[in-house]
Amino acid sequence: MPKEIFMPKLSSTMEIGTLLQWFKEEGDSVEIGEPLFEIMTDKINIEVEAYDDGIFLKKYYEADDQIPVNAVIGYIGEANEQVPSEPPAQADGESSEDSGTSSPSESAVSAEVETTSGEKVRATPAARKTAKDHHVAIHEVTGTGPKGRVQKRDVEAAVHSGETDQRVSPLAEKVAAREGIDLANVTGSGAHGKIMKSDVTAATAQTAGTAPVKTQKLAGMRKVIADRMSQSAFTAPHVTLTSEIDMTKAKEVRKQLLPAIEKETGYRLSFTEIIIHAVSNVLTRHPHINMTFEQNELHFHDDVHIGLAVAVKDGLMVPVISHANEKGLKQLTKEAKEIGRNARDQKLLPDQLKGSTFTISNLGMYAIDTFTPIINQPEVAILGVGRIQEKPVVVDGEIQVRPMMGVSLSFDHRVVDGAPAAAFLTDLKKVLEQPFELLM
């Protein structure tokens, strides 16, 4: 009996996954554990492995399709086994499209397509895909499904009857109508010469005598980041304390330990790991900083789980080093380097992005002295780290040039007062200026 392939639900907030690519084609053999397809969730890209052996019999979706979680996206089974030609229903109790009504799976993921008049057209995924394949403007097709929903057979009928020869995307048509652009004078860059929004935008700019402006819809990881940053900035009153730390002895520690750690792990000890070690140590003495604030409750954590902000293509990820307070510099170096690399390569697992109690954002590789980081909720504080630079400072009454590092502690003033935050930052300064104590 054929086995269903589902769009997995990889987090509690995930509702839709974007199919990035298939690693197998229909007819290929599949073994348990082999990568079968790759998806983009609201947080990460991840490869999904096969749970069954057999032949890849059917795929219902292509790259860039957005699919609801738990929807059937394909089948694995024995050669020549029969499978449905359309995605099966996600729930019982409704008949299929062949019986004159839309299937539950289509109803669950049906989309509303905006027309140039601002109205909405309901269409099933199969109808949208067929319209895309045949370069049909779906808003020109009369729907026969419930509430006028356009179904696959409606699009096919329009194609066969020659009802529509539209090669303009609905959004392009809307922009053209708004800007007064004659589409007869616009050359389409889409498939089979289809006019896209970018073509109309370029024509508008040409008419105005200006260069076209590149636009990009906020989506995927970038949209998630935007939503989370807005929520944090507008719900948590941020207060930021800054300080300068003399890194003279921290540099000495790094110089002495670097060869041994590199020999053991293959990775070079950086100041990031020294800072993680120091922060983890200090947080165990400051429970009001190592806490999270969720649903109007404060959660105090005995263990320290450090989120490490990592810049990736088109966004930012915060993988987590769990139980950082129990690890030495050797292990922290190995973990920090590996999760940073996996984040940039889009190979993090969902569990590696959960459970942090405090985050460090290090911009020390840039010409940045201090900055105001946004709290990674539900945490209540975040440390921003700037560059280390040589500065004249007064030491024992004499002016000396020392490597000074700027740090910024942003905290949620709803639940953290200034004095505890200042005490934490003061202790962190002491530990980093006397880092040999960390080796005791």
DSSP state of 419: H
74 touches 56 (CB < 8 A): yes
Residue 14 main-chain phi, psi, to 5 deg: -75, 125
Three-class SS string for 363-408?
CCCCCCCCCCCCCCCCECEEEEEEEEEEEEEEECCEEEEEEEEEEE
Tokens of residue 409, six digits: 């502690």
CB atoms inside a 10 Å sphere around CB 165:
11
DSSP state of 211: P
Alpha helices by DSSP H, 141-184: 152-161, 170-179
To 10 degrees, the CA torsion angle through 411, 412, 418, 419?
A: -80
Identify the CA nearest to 386 among candidates 366, 402, 403. Answer: 366
417 belongs to the catalytic site: yes
Tell me the pairing of strands 111-114 and 238-246: unpaired
In sequence order, which residues have a C-beta less than 8 Å from that of residue 381 and are 6 or more positions away?
289, 358, 375, 409, 410, 411, 412, 416, 421, 424
Q: How far apart are CA 73 and CA 384, in angstroms?
A: 43
Identify the CA nearest to 309 among candidates 436, 235, 408. Answer: 408
Q: How far apart are CA 370 and CA 405, in angstroms?
A: 9
Half-sphere exposure of 364 (CA within 13 A, CB side): 21
Tokens of residue 140, six digits: 């020109």
Element (H, E) at 339: helix 329-344
To 10 degrees, the CA torsion angle through 250, 383, 402, 327?
A: 0
192 belongs to the catalytic site: no
In sequence order, which residues have a C-beta less than 8 Å from that of residue 323 and are 6 or more positions away?
303, 304, 305
In sequence order, which residues have a C-beta less than 8 Å from that of residue 385 and are 6 or more positions away?
272, 275, 360, 361, 362, 363, 364, 405, 406, 407
Q: Check 52, 369, 413, 427 and give the catalytic one.
A: 413
Residues designated as active site? 413, 417
